[in-house]
Amino acid sequence: MENTDWETYQGLQCSMYSEVLLDLGPTAYFSISVNVLFCITAILGNALILVALQKDSLLHPASKMLFRCLALADLCVGLITQPCFVIYLVSVVRKSGWVYCKPVTCFLDISTSLLCGISLATITAISVDRLLALQLGLRYRQVVTLARVRRLSFLMWLAFSALSMLYFWNARIFLTTVSFNVLLFLIVSTFCYLKIYFSLRHRQRSTPGPPSVPSQVHVLKYKRTVSSALWVSISMIACYLPFAVVAAVRVTYQDPAFSVLAEGITASLIYFNSSLNPVLCCWRIREVRRAVKATIRRFCFFCPY
Q: What is the pLDDT of residues 105-131, one digit of tens each?
A: 778 888 888 898 899 899 899 889 888
Domains of the chain, residue spans: 6-299
- Residue 76: per-residue pLDDT: 93
Which of 137-141, 250-254, 274-278 has the lowest average pLDDT? 250-254
Residue 93 confidence (pLDDT) above 90:
no
Quick one: DSSP state of residue 2? -
Mean pLDDT of 69-80: 92
Confidence of residue 225 (pLDDT cuts 50, 70, 90): low
The DSSP secondary structure of 25-66, one letter per residue, reads THHHHHHHHHHHHHHHHHHHHHHHHHHHHHH--SS-HHHHHH
What's CA 83's distance to the chain center, in Å? 16
CA gap 124, 53 in Å, rounded: 19
Do residues 193 and 126 touch, judged by C-beta distance below 8 A? no
Do residues 269 and 34 touch, judged by C-beta distance below 8 A? no
Confidence of residue 217 (pLDDT cuts 50, 70, 90): very low
- Residue 39: per-residue pLDDT: 92
Please provide the distance, in angstroms rounded to a whole number, between the alpha carbons at the two ends of the chain: 55
Residues 6+ apart with CB under 8 A from 190: 233, 237
- Residue 2: per-residue pLDDT: 43
Do residues 130 and 195 touch, judged by C-beta distance below 8 A? no
Taking each helix axis as running N to C, give the angle between helix 146-164 and helix 171-206, from 0 to 180 degrees, rounded to the nearest 10. Answer: 150
4, 20, 92, 287, 299 from 8: Cα distances, Å:
7, 18, 16, 50, 49
Q: Of 117, 238, 126, give the one whose Cα is nearest residue 184.
A: 117
52, 146, 204, 256 from 42: Cα distances, Å:
15, 26, 40, 30
CA gap 4, 80 in Å, rounded: 26
CATH numeric code, 6-299: 1.20.1070.10
Residue 228 confidence (pLDDT) above 50:
yes
CA gap 276, 43 in Å, rounded: 11
Mean pLDDT of 87-113: 75
- Residue 75: per-residue pLDDT: 94
Residue type present at position 226: V
Q: Of 211, 13, 195, 188, give the one whose Cα is nearest residue 100.
A: 13
CA gap 245, 243 in Å, rounded: 5
Which of 174-188, 198-212, 264-278 has the lowest average pLDDT? 198-212
pLDDT tens digits along 19-72:
566 666 677 778 788 889 999 999 999 998 888 888 766 677 888 898 899 999
